[in-house]
């Protein structure tokens, strides 16, 4: 049974790696989304992303916390964190990795480099046993991206047995994640408003349910 669980995990990693590696080349594709997917814009403009269906989310300042509505205890959070001026992507990833090394039966399954929206990123995949119980293994995926003095962190975890069911959703999340450029003061560079005479010829209209919403921070 343990070998079967690990095999499912490895298959999931392979699929997710191929999706994540192409994140910088992703374009809006109507076929990619489902009616319950939600386009989300961080309230200060640090990033926008499409949250796959099946999650209930709440924004708390620069941290978006999401829980699975399926009753499988899956957790997802996106966070923007200040880091020292001399902080590097590799150092940040190493520090987070060390946190999980303290978990029972920790095992690093994959550490890969990719590019998200033109910026280098690191993807960690690991597992550990919850409270040391080998009957409750936990799967974790963490993506780290640094722009100026800001760390963009995407963290997902769930029971190992449910991980394979989230591979497609995580791939969608990475493919739609667009972090803002950061100015020297550490603030997001917001896009300029489009003028009315600019054409959108050749681009499909975005459905209302995918338009970024700013009137509520819980969904």
The domain segmentation of the chain, as residue ranges, is 2-25+36-181
Secondary element (H or E) of residue 91: helix 89-101
Residue pLDDT, tens place only, 117-173: 889 999 999 999 988 888 889 999 999 999 989 999 999 999 999 998 998 889 889
The answer to whether 96 and 81 are in contact (CB under 8 A) is: no
pLDDT digits (tens, 9 = 90+) for 5-24: 444 444 454 444 444 444 43
pTM of the entire structure? Answer: 0.74
Count CA atoms closer than 13 A to 190's CA, side-chain side. Answer: 9
| Superfamily per CATH, domain 2-25+36-181 | Mog1/PsbP, alpha/beta/alpha sandwich (3.40.1000.10)
């Amino acid at each position: 049974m343990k070998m079967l669980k690990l095999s499912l995990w490895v298959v999931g990693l392979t699929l997710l790696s191929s999706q994540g590696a192409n994140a910088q080349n992703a374009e809006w594709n109507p076929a990619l989304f489902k009616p319950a997917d939600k386009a989300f814009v961080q309230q200060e403009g640090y990033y926008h992303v499409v949250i796959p269906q099946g999650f209930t989310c709440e924004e708390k300042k620069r941290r978006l916390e999401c829980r699975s509505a399926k009753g499988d205890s899956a957790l997802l959070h996106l966070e923007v964190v200040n880091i020292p001026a001399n902080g590097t992507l590799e150092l940040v990833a190493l520090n987070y990795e060390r946190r999980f090394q303290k978990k029972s039966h920790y095992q690093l399954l994959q550490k890969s480099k990719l590019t998200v929206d033109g910026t280098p990123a690191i993807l960690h995949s690991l597992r550990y046993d919850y409270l040391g119980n080998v009957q409750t293994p936990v799967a974790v995926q963490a993506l780290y991206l640094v722009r100026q003095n800001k760390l963009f962190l995407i963290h997902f975890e769930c029971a190992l047995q449910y991980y394979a069911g989230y591979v497609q959703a995580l791939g969608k999340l990475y493919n739609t994640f667009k972090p803002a450029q950061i100015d020297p003061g550490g603030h997001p560079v917001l896009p300029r408003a489009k003028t009315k005479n600019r054409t959108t010829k050749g681009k499909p209209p975005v459905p209302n349910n995918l338009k970024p919403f700013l009137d509520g921070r819980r969904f």
